[in-house]
Amino acid sequence: MQPMLLTPRSHRRARRPGARLRTLLLGACLVGLPGLTAAAVPPLLLGTAWYPEQWPEARWPKDLALMQAAHIHVVRVGEFAWSTFEPRQGVYHFGWLQRAIAEAARHHIFVVIGTPTAAPPAWLTSRYPQTLRVGPDGKRAQHGGRQQFSFSSPLYRKFCREIAARLARHFGHNPDVIGWQIDNEMGPPSFGAGTRHQFHAWLRRKYHTIAALNRHWTTAYWSETYEHFSQVPMRAQGENPGLLLDFRRFVSATWASYVRNQVRAIRRYAAPRQFITTNTTHWGDQFDQYAISRELTLASWDDYVPDGRYHWLDNAVEDDLVRGYKRRDFWVMETQPAFVDWAPVNAALPPYAMRELAWQDVGHGANAVLYWQWRSALNGQEQYNGTLLGPDGEPVPAYRVVRGIGAQFALAGAALAGTEPRSRVAMLQSYASRWAIDFQRQTVRFGVVREFTAFYKPLERFAQSVDVVSPQAPLARYRLVVAPALNVLSRAEAHHLAAYVRAGGHLVLGPRSGMKDSYDALWTERQPGPLVPLLGGHVEQYYALLKPVPLAGALGSGTASVWAETLEPRASDTRVLMRYGKSNGWLNGKPAIITRRIGKGSITYIGAWLDPPLMRTVIDALARAANVHPLIPGVARNVEVCERVGDGKRVWILINHGRRPHTVHLPAAASPMLTGGPPRRTIVLAPHEVSVLLGSHS
């Protein structure tokens, strides 16, 4: 029988005096969510993943006391506990979690409940094998891991909806439960007959007639023409590019409806103050993250550095990517205590890198950082993963590092309450373009993420704040918008970008942009497709490169590698900024970068993959031309500048990622939050030091 839920009043009596204020916490740490008001403590959350079901209940108080001593204020629980919640079909045991939440509250710790649907129990998969995922090879997954379910199975979704609703009925008004995580790191699709039927139905809704599908996919090629939607194959590679792109969109829509199924079940019973999220992975492109995030209150991700080699610019772009899913602050739902257990070499992050990583996340918009996991599981596939406690229940070295981070969070949290990054520069990230290029790279060296990062690094170093958003996002606030490899460009997106330029914005397109329409078919206008009239020029031809080629012009000189396009100005006011030097005969003397002013705005096309020094020179020049300036000029190359503003405050987070001390001259006096002391204009950062400074913002 389901245990009786304590009423909020009786539950509050069991807790410490003043506990009512705890229900207001989210107003400080998640400013802007509906139904929440500001509170004093704690506005910045440190947390961990805790699995009380794996340990004796008598142990819980010691675990939570150790968390409290490390300034941990939030735990994620339950996301793999389905067999404990529902050991037999229809038999629910929630009492253990009720007691765990109450014990956490006594230690000033809040709870995020994960729906346990990433790992179904054995009774479900054995009794209902049709809920198991089918791989591309036609083989059905087996029980014994996670993510073995079919994301499209109506029956599996029924079970997911039921467990989510039961949990929400039980904990949806618990004052110590602040949010929900749907599933865990959703990933592979299913290729079974049921999914194929749904794919065909999705195609029918999109195209209405098979003739329309044939036209947009150009199925006359290789006699791929179909008479009925049921004839269309369902494969993730080696197919017509139009089919492959639509399959990815179908997968995205299916995962979005999978999430929506649980969101609606939770929202029916949960208090509006409780947020709903799901945790995503590094640059994950199995599905469109923007589509998934529409169903959620906030975005969250799992920030791991598998090989232990922390490169701050590589990590910064991922923080900005996740912030762009909802265009607001986010959570880091998992990060590593020193090391992981799934990389080829599971090297540990140095202690200073753990600290830098946590503060970088906060600087780029994270309001919570949670470590995975609290204590080593005694068995299971991830028993070697880094933890804060060892299998004996005692702290390991990473615990002391996290305790230090928690102490810093406590000192600086109040200053960060109500603030967020506000960039004047944006980069456009398109899943359709990533997928389309990956389907047909033309050169194995053209990695879409690598090319995106090649643009991001100099832009972040110059502007010191970059938003990463979808091509459909509002752009009016940005002085400069950069779109590397915007390969798939719909006519609506082109109109959106053209309107931005005509309103005075500055748009920069990278190589391979505007080649395809929304059906993954080639635009007849050549590149950049519908933006050719605005640019006053187009791409004459593209070339995969075997070796670097020289180029030079008004923006400097250097080389291009991997990819080069020859450009052809058509309008009299389209200017050539750089040309290729003598190289392979095809490129000699041809334009590599062209630009055109449109009123107070401009559009620039960069047709080559530039070497890093030249990329930096070009980006700096284009940023200055767009009236973009660094937040804090003159900082050293290894010093990261993060700015969060709001509520009349400006907070700078300065991180010295280098091995030498550096002096930073602030544009205005600010008070150091971690060390105390009077406001100052000059900061000396020791190697790997973090400084958080509070100033005013009008």
pLDDT of 14 over the 70 cut: no
Closest CA to 580 of 595, 564, 596: 564
Q: Is 79 a catalytic residue?
A: no
The pTM (predicted TM-score) of the whole model is: 0.93
pLDDT of residue 596: 98
What are the DSSP E strand ranges found in 399-548?
Answer: 425-428, 467-469, 480-483, 506-509, 537-544
Percentage of residues in the chain having pLDDT higher than 70: 94
Q: What is the mean pLDDT of the chain?
A: 93
Name, in order, each residue with C-beta under 8 angstroms of 263's C-beta and a sequence gap of 6 or more: 182, 276, 295, 296
Beta bridge partners of 568: 538
Q: 45 and 358 in contact (C-beta within 8 Å)? A: no
Q: What is the DSSP letter of 172?
A: T
As a whole number, mean pLDDT of residues 517-533 equals 97
CA atoms within 13 A on the CB side of 188: 15
**Rounded-to-integer distance, Cα 693 and Cα 679, Å:** 9
Domains along the chain with CATH numbers? 8-188+274-416 (3.20.20.80), 425-625 (3.40.50.880), 639-696 (2.60.40.1180)
> How is residue 546 written in tokens?
């075997």
pLDDT, one tens digit per residue, over 407-447 is 999 999 999 999 999 999 999 999 999 999 999 999 999 99
Residue 382 neighbours by CB distance under 10 Å = 15
DSSP assignments along 212-261, one per residue: HHHHHHTTTGGG---SSGGG----SSSS-HHHHHHHHHHHHHHHHHHHHH
pLDDT of residue 7: 28
pLDDT of 640 over the 80 cut: yes
> How is residue 109 written in tokens?
């710790």
**Rounded-to-integer distance, Cα 24 and Cα 44, Å:** 13
Q: Is 334 a catalytic residue?
A: yes
**Rounded-to-integer distance, Cα 152 and Cα 160, Å:** 12
As a whole number, mean pLDDT of residues 61-87 equals 98
pLDDT of 83 over the 60 cut: yes
pLDDT of residue 698: 66
pLDDT of 179 over the 70 cut: yes
pLDDT of residue 287: 96
**Helix, strand, coil percent content, the chain, rounded in steps of 5:** 35, 25, 45
Tell me the pairing of strands 690-696 and 45-49: unpaired
Burial label for 562, CB within 10 Å (0-12, 13-18, 19+), is buried
pLDDT of residue 86: 98
**Rounded-to-integer distance, Cα 63 and Cα 110, Å:** 14
Tell me the pairing of strands 74-77 and 110-114: parallel
Q: 98 and 5 in contact (C-beta within 8 Å)? A: yes
Instruction: Please identify which of the residues 334, 451, 460, 493 carries the catalytic annotation.
Output: 334
**Rounded-to-integer distance, Cα 287 and Cα 155, Å:** 22
Percentage of residues in the chain having pLDDT higher than 90: 91
DSSP assignments along 364-419, one per residue: TTEEEEEES-SB--SSSTTTTS--SB-TTSSB-HHHHHHHHHHHHHHHHHHHHTT-
CA 226 to each of CA 22, 212, 214, 232: distance values in angstroms, whole numbers, following the listed order = 60, 11, 7, 7
Q: 242 and 519 in contact (C-beta within 8 Å)? A: yes
pLDDT of 651 over the 90 cut: yes
Three-class DSSP category at 660: coil
pLDDT, one tens digit per residue, over 226-253 is 999 999 999 999 999 999 999 999 999 9
pLDDT, one tens digit per residue, over 485-524 is 999 999 999 999 999 999 999 999 999 999 999 999 999 9
**Rounded-to-integer distance, Cα 468 and Cα 518, Å:** 21
Instruction: Please identify which of the residues 53, 103, 162, 185 carries the catalytic annotation.
Output: 185
**Rounded-to-integer distance, Cα 669 and Cα 655, Å:** 18
pLDDT of residue 11: 32
pLDDT, one tens digit per residue, over 95-132 is 999 999 999 999 999 999 999 999 999 999 999 999 99
**Rounded-to-integer distance, Cα 110 and Cα 76, Å:** 9
